[in-house]
Amino acid sequence: MDDQIESATLRFYFHLASTSCNILDFEGVEVQSLEVARRGALEAIEEFFAAESTLEADLTGWEVLIVDEAGHRLSAFQLGCAS
C-alpha cells in the first residue's frame, strides 16, 4: 500500500531567478501534481511575506520556476510587479 502512495507522488523543485541571479532548490518537494506544487508555492510565499511584514524587498524581475527532476521547466510566475 505504501508503494502505491509513493508512486503517486512527483518531485518538483522551486528555483528563484532574476536577470542577474539564480537560487536553485536542490531539495524539492513531493506532491501529487503540478497544480498542487504551484498552489503550495504561492501559499508559502504569501505566508512568508505576511509573517515578515517589515520586509521591504524589491522583487521586481524575480520569478519562481517550477521544474521536474529532469530540470524541465513546467511552470513559472513573477514575484514582483513592474512599476
pLDDT digits (tens, 9 = 90+) for 40-57: 888 888 777 777 655 566
* In the predicted structure, residue 5 carries a pLDDT above the cut 60: no
Q: Say how many domains are in the chain.
A: 1
Domain that holds residue 60: 2-78
In a domain, 60, yes or no: yes
What's the pLDDT score for residue 83? Answer: 45
Angle at 61 between CA 57 and CA 65, to 5 degrees: 100
Q: Which residues contact 64 (CB under 8 A, 6 or more apart)?
A: 14, 15, 16, 17, 41, 45, 76, 77, 79
CB 24 within 8 A of CB 15: yes
Mean pLDDT confidence for 57-82:
85
Q: Please report whether residue 83 resides in a domain.
A: no
What is the C-alpha separation between 79 and 32, in angstroms, rounded? Answer: 24
Q: Is 38 a domain residue?
A: yes
pTM here?
A: 0.75
Residue 14 included in any domain: yes
